[in-house]
Amino acid sequence: MPRYKLTIEYDGTPFVGWQRQANGLSIQEVLESALLAFTGETRVVHGAGRTDAGVHARGQVAHIDLERDWRGDKIREAMNAHLRPHPVAVLLVEKVADDFEARFSATKRHYLYRIVNRRAPPTVARDAVWHVKRKLDAGAMHEAAQRLIGRHDFSTFRAAECQANSPVRTLDMLHVARNGDEIDIRTCARSFLHHQVRSMVGSLEHVGSGKWTADDLEGALHARDRARCGVVAPASGLFLMGVDYGEQPFS
């Protein structure tokens, strides 16, 4: 049974998240429905990450198994036709080895968080940013962010409902930069805890506004106490940008 790797883009605003749920429409559900309409097969679309409600993706990765050996471009075009009018698009479909797993074969996940930092509200990007009116010091935010790099117990930045076996993660990069009115926060790691990125971003906002120092951020990390976390940044500003795999998974 051939296995295929899908690279997917979506606007998460109208969805309850990646994972199929009883309380609303998910990205996984619309993909599986499109696949059924195209192939007549009921298949699970296995994602590399279970993004929350309102979180977007420019490079989500998933895998599927199909009975028939299809060309990748045929799968892409057919699925996109059946995905309309949902804001979900299959960008690329590649045949991969049978042992490729979108989630468990991943070696690194890349996220971007966008903050619009100005008095006037955002318009065209209002569902794709966090609007912060008070002036933020992006340089101070970047300097403080380096205190979080490395292998740590990230309990402070972990949602209470997180199901991970351990709060220990290795953060490879956390970079903050201003571009005009926008502050972009980029981060990558092999894996993240539930709400970890949004929790780190909310705490960095405290640094940028002058409420916290870099030492305060580091102290919150070492406290390993969820109550020491800053605000949790809204889902709207978060994008899953891409997923890396150590070896080429193609068959």
User: Which residues are catalytic, by number?
Assistant: 52
Contact 13, 52 (CB under 8 A): no
Helix 72-83 vs helix 27-39: crossing angle, to nearest 10? 120
> d(Cα 88, Cα 25) in Å, to the nearest integer?
12
Residue 213: CB partners within 8 Å, gap ≥ 6? Answer: 144, 207
